[in-house]
Amino acid sequence: MTPYDQLLEKSKVIHIYQSVLSLLHWDQETHMPSGGLTMRGEQIALLSQLAHEEKTSKSYKAALEKLVSLKTGKIKIKGLSKLQQIAVREWQKDYCRANKLPSSFVKAFSQLTSEASQVWALAKKENNFKLFAPFLQRIVQMNREKATILGFTDHPYDALLESHEPCMTSARCSKIFNGLQGELKGLLKKIREEKKPDVRFLHRRISNEKQKEISHWLTSAMPVDPEYTRLDLSSHPFSIALNPKDSRITTRYLPHSFMSNIFSILHEEGHSMYELGLQSEYWGTAVCESASLSIHESQSRWWETIIGRSFPFWKHFYPQLQKILPSHLKGVSLDKFYRAIHLVTPSFIRVEADEVTYCLHIILRFEIEKQLIAGSLAVADLPEAWNAKFKELFGIKPPSDAQGCLQDIHWSLGDFGYFPTYALGNILAAQLFSTFAKEHPDWEQKVESGDLAFIREWLKKNIHQWGRTYNYDEFAKRITGKPISESFYCKYLKKKYLNPILS
């Protein structure tokens, strides 16, 4: 067995650990009885520790050192293919980062977040921030410790952001988000001067049976092989991939918001298509892993918003939706429906936000996260700070913490540095689409006919199949010929929302 094959086998063992962890999380969110959550948390903590110990073991290090210098990243042996070299490059990066964290820290952090997520759910349900505050305080403290262990140059938040988007720093994010915030607030002001569309028909009660019918209709229409996917229900839609042949997504049924179900499916199918588009023959290596959360989010938002909210998409699919909901959509024209699903108005809940205000929700979280990690904002003062920043950005104040600082699960899971990737994903999606539209000037006509497969194939060719071969910046430059810029996203929003059809 060659040194490369030896390391590949060890890497596959780590991936199996991660798959088991994903299965436990999947079961916890979709099937598990509440009484087993405490024991499940202990199981997840132990498996997280074992996976980390495997990744940082002496035998793993010895195998890796046969291939590459841990200090310089220079590959030591010849004869590796380009993709094998990329795999070795990323193995070295992952090892050096993981090796800084003690396995005891990984286990303790996992145990804490497993407990915290349960308390968060109760705190949100009861609108009781004080119930969750002690856990959040410990999570913030451990994230500060994690940042110190991993190391940073300018801001401790950078070490956490790097885990989710290696190309980014807090300073660079701030520069991008400052420009984006100004554009969004200006666009929002113009849109609010226009007459709002009638959206009452979108909030008529739809039974779970009908929503299930909608779910199966929509998933069957998407260019995803049903042999490798499945759809379930959860309180918060999400997706996981156990391997490139097993991708799972969830949705939720809100009785008075059936479009939430539709957009959730489109969003999660975008994630799923990315995972299924990876090169399965390289499973166990970085070539068969998603490049970053920002790139992952660019795929989900591409399908949910750029395609899933486009007029050509609904010109084809709206008549079919009317057949499923004849009484609810009777007399509702395509134009009226299209205007309704593009209502722009400040709202409290991030996952239900429109395209124009969505990134403002992310900017709010980014600013607060930086302050919490830097220590300039105390956890006890979080609700007040959240409400003040929300008022500044949206002009409205959340009526409760459940609709404010308690609405997202991310902090209970310890995921600081995650939120910026949502906005960065939107930005990348728009920039990629600018090139796609040039290469496919007839894309609207094809989508109107119900053809979506050519879109998936373009994404697979340019994004999916490459895994971690390229990073966020490199994908932008390689595909569009230009560095990443929020200008593409702003241009996309202005073109759509200042269009007379939405006035």
The pLDDT of 214-241, averaged and rounded, is 93
The pLDDT of 118-137, averaged and rounded, is 96
- The DSSP element (H or E) to which 242 belongs, if any, is strand 239-243
Q: Which amino acid is at 470?
A: Y
| Per-residue pLDDT at 204 exceeds 90 | yes
- Identify the DSSP state of 286: G
| Per-residue pLDDT at 500 exceeds 80 | no
Helix (H), strand (E) counts: the chain: 20, 3
* Tokens describing residue 410: 């991310």
> How far is the C-alpha of 181 from the C-alpha of 108, rounded, in Å?
37
- Residue from 355, 378, 369 nearest 173 by CA: 369
- The DSSP element (H or E) to which 422 belongs, if any, is helix 420-439
The pLDDT of 273-292, averaged and rounded, is 96
| Per-residue pLDDT at 239 exceeds 90 | yes
Alpha-carbon distances of 300 from 2, 53, 204, 249, 481, rounded to whole Å: 38, 32, 27, 12, 22
Domain ranges of the chain: 3-154, 170-502
Strand 246-251 with 239-243, pairing: antiparallel
Strand 246-251 with 229-233, pairing: parallel
- The pLDDT tens digits for 76-104 are 999 999 999 999 999 999 999 999 999 99
Active-site residue (options: 29, 54, 268, 289) = 268
The pLDDT of 426-437, averaged and rounded, is 98
The pLDDT of 288-312, averaged and rounded, is 97
* Tokens describing residue 70: 């841990």
Q: Are 177 and 368 in contact (CB under 8 A)?
A: no
pLDDT of amino acid 60? 96
Measured at the CA of 72, the angle between CA 470 and CA 142, to 5 degrees, comes to 75
- Ramachandran area for residue 28 (φ above 0: left; ψ -120 to 50: alpha; else beta): alpha
- Identify the DSSP state of 198: P
| Per-residue pLDDT at 404 exceeds 70 | yes
The count of C-alpha atoms lying within 13 angstroms of the C-alpha of 147, restricted to the half-sphere facing its C-beta, is 27
The pLDDT of 117-129, averaged and rounded, is 94
pLDDT of amino acid 503? 61
Annotated catalytic, 268?
yes
The pLDDT of 174-190, averaged and rounded, is 95
Q: Are 269 and 224 in contact (CB under 8 A)?
A: yes
pLDDT of amino acid 442? 98
* Tokens describing residue 221: 């229409």
CA 485 to chain centre: 19
pLDDT of amino acid 194? 82
Query: What's the CATH architecture for 170-502?
Result: Orthogonal Bundle (1.10)
| Per-residue pLDDT at 398 exceeds 70 | yes
CA 480 to chain centre: 22
The pLDDT of 34-41, averaged and rounded, is 83
